[in-house]
Structure 1
């Protein structure tokens, strides 16, 4: 009986993670050294937070954010405009059968972290956490 070619676990395979990290490093280096011939793209300092590769490694989604989050839409448009040149740099740096198609998405993890910090700074939440800690201490004392 033929086996499934793709990883069937709940998360990405080791190969997907490894290829995604190599693409992330390559994109970061290319953007840092301003190797793309587009002044609009080179004026942005862009962070590549994560790259997720599809199971067949033909599509890679890069989660990016310009420094400080300023002009995020302009930076995203510049990355999408220069997608072919960036793909060429990635293909040259890696030895894959296919050069993955690059997709760029704004990285929203920084926004979620700020929202989480604001939530934990709320007085009601701090009070609830303190109550939970007190109850946990009482349980330990009973043992």
Structure 2
């Protein structure tokens, strides 16, 4: 019997669970100000999501400065400078066989949400969305 019986393209339950545990732990560490970096301590950072690789050895952390208080590049750079200490703290608090390598990226979900809102507020889109469904248009040749 095949080791992988189900053909799934998304992350496994374990990946989702470990990602969420890392997200919560990292948010708590940053909230408590346990990292001794003055630049990082001065920032309020939101940890939006953590996606973990299939082997649980790489964790991509999507972050955003709270209320745009600092440029996102500065926040990502500060976190990347301190990733060794953050990784050590995560390994202390979680019971994982290996502490994953942390990779920090800008969280763009809020930007995409704003763009979606802008598109839906467009009068042309609102007219199309509110229009009743009509039967598909047929040409005279198709009727014969």
What is the TM-score normalised by the length of structure 1?
0.87
User: What is the match of residue 90 of structure 1?
Assistant: 90
Specify whether residues 41 and 128 from structure 1 end up closer, same or farther in structure 2 by C-alpha distance, changes over 3 A only.
same
Deviation beyond 6 Å, 4+ runs, structure 1 = none
Number of aligned residue pairs = 133
Is 1:47 aligned to 2:55, yes or no? no
Cα distance 1:54–1:120, how it changes in 2: closer, same or farther (>3 A)? Answer: same
2:26 is aligned to 27
The alpha carbon displacement at 1:2 in A equals: 7.0
The CA RMSD over aligned residues, in Å, is 1.8
Unaligned runs of 5+ in 2: 135-144
SS of 1:90's equivalent in the other structure is helix
Q: Is it true that 1:13 corresponds to 2:15 in the alignment? A: no
Would the alpha carbon gap of residues 106 and 14 (structure 1) be closer, same or farther in structure 2, given more than 3 Å must change? same
Deviations 1:27-83, CA, capped at 9 Å, x for gaps: 000001110000100111000000001000000000000012331111110000000
- List gaps (5 residues or longer) in structure 1: 137-143
Aligned twin of 1:105 = 105
| Structure ranking higher in helix proportion | 1
Secondary structure at the counterpart of residue 135 of structure 1: coil
TM-superposition CA deviations, 1:5-44 (whole Å, max 9, x none): xx85111011000000000000000001110000100111
Normalising by structure 2, we get a TM-score of 0.87
Cα distance change of structure 1 residues 89 and 8 upon mapping to structure 2, 3 Å threshold: farther
Q: How do residues 130-141 of structure 1 correspond to structure 2 at under 5 angstroms?
A: 130-131=130-131, 134-135=132-133
Distance (whole Å) between structure 1 residues aligned to residue 91 and residue 7 of structure 2: 27
